[in-house]
Amino acid sequence: MDVDYIIVGLGLAGLAFAEELENNGKSFVVYENSSQNSSRVAAGVYNPVILKRFTPVWDALDQLNIALPFYRSLEKKLSLQFDEKFDIYRVFASIEEQNNWFAACDKPFFVDFMIPEIIPNNNPGINAPFGFGKIINTGKVDTTKLLRSYSKYLDNENRLRHEYFDYTELNLLTDGVKYNNVKAKKVVFCEGYGIKKNPFFENFPLKEVKGELITINAPALDIHYLLKASVFILPLGNSRYQVGATFNWKDKSLQPTPEGKKELLKKLKKVIKVDFEVVDHEAGIRPTSKDRRPILGKHQQYEQLAVLNGLGTRGVMLAPKMAKILFGHLENNHPLDKEIATGRFY
């Protein structure tokens, strides 16, 4: 079997690169063993505002200009809805935060996103004596639904292999690679934190941060926007809400922990004042680079090997643009910006 590309990993990065290949008439096969789940347990929110400091997310507008049409095209292709629009209400902790909000609203970047007023809290189930700041033109992508349906699509096209990729079976040729019965021009590794076991890229200074989420049932809460305080509270429908997230830099297991749940519950009880029941508890490992920028480009020695990784907590926004950039680099030798290229680590 001859293809243009082998893709290893089918999270958001692998999916976005597969779509870029298909849209450009390139053949490929994907290997996915479901060992990494950061994309599946991600909240999937896209928002160009850093809510802690009211500053812009790096490269946010360009990312959104590529990402939103990308997800619309997938909705049309797969005949499903993945993108849900909603507003974000940021809980103010003080008058100082209110003042910082208004100062940020005066900046041109935020005109289309931040409403320059204080939204009073009229919900008795929420603890917000200083009110809210409202962010518009945001939403979330249902990453679990997207990845599940895209996997089914690739299965039907016979382009998905549900198996572990054995690096020892990868033979490097002068004109590409050979892996078992598949010959390809290039391999792109989109493995998330699993790249730590990849002998070709294991020395990258990739940092893994474990995040835990809980899902609660809270009929009396009744909100239809994402609430952001010390935790985020994301409506899922039918009185259910996703609450997250923790950041653990030491624990590398994929199992949710009592400590993570305890931390989330402690913070949650400071934000809401209604009864609730925990109905689910999940964990995932998010890959991020030391400088908080994506990692993409070719291997230093083997040009037929490339990587797309380090998307961190903003994979929904980053993946479509980074896939497009990497494709241009691999196919047309377009140069990569130093701040995202693999070369910054060599």
- The answer to whether residue 23 scores a pLDDT higher than 90 is yes
The H helix count followed by the E strand count for the chain is 7, 18
For residue 6, what pLDDT band results from cuts at 50, 70 and 90? Answer: very high
Q: Which residues pair with 123 in a beta bridge?
A: none
Q: 171 - beta bridge partners?
A: 178
The proportion of the chain whose per-residue pLDDT surpasses 90, expressed as a percent, equals 82
Across residues 2-13, what is the average pLDDT?
96
How, if at all, do strands 182-189 and 305-309 pair? parallel
Supply the pLDDT for residue 245: 87
Average pLDDT, integer, range 24-42: 79
Average pLDDT, the chain: 93
Residue pointed to by tokens 């962010």: 135
CA-CA distances (angstroms) from residue 237 to 42, 65, 151, 179, 337? Answer: 17, 28, 25, 44, 41
> Which among 113, 33, 62 is positioned nearest to 314, based on CA atoms?
62
DSSP code at position 290? T
Give 88's contacts (C-beta < 8 A, 6+ positions apart). 45, 47, 51, 134, 135, 138, 225, 226, 227, 228
Give 193-213 pLDDT, tens digit per residue: 888 899 998 877 777 788 899
pLDDT of residue 286: 78
Cα–Cα distance for residue pair 346/344, rounded to 1 Å: 6
Amino acid identity, position 16: A
How do 226-228 and 83-91 pair as beta strands?
parallel
Tens of pLDDT along 160-190?
Answer: 999 999 999 999 999 999 999 999 999 999 9
Residue 283's DSSP bridge partners are: 212
- How far apart CA 34 and CA 11 sit, in angstroms, is 9
DSSP run (H or E) holding 261: helix 258-271
**CATH superfamily for domain 45-137+207-289:** D-Amino Acid Oxidase, subunit A, domain 2 (3.30.9.10)
The closest alpha carbon to 238, from 210, 186, 207, 279, belongs to: 279
Pair of tokens at residue 187: 């391999």
Q: Average of pLDDT values for 58-74?
A: 97
Give long-range contacts, CB 8 A cutoff, 24+ apart: 101-108.
101/54, 101/133, 103/54, 104/54, 104/55
Any idea where the domains of the chain sit in the sequence? 2-41+144-204+290-345, 45-137+207-289
- Where does 2-41+144-204+290-345 sit in CATH, by number? 3.50.50.60
**pLDDT tens track for 77-101:** 999 999 999 999 999 999 999 999 9
Q: What is the pLDDT of residues 98-148, one digit of tens each?
A: 999 999 999 999 999 999 999 999 999 999 999 999 999 999 999 999 999
What is this structure's pTM?
A: 0.92
pLDDT value at 39 more than 60: no
Q: What is the structure's pLDDT at 142?
A: 94
Q: What was the pLDDT predicted at 43?
A: 76
With tokens 């899902």, the residue in question is 215
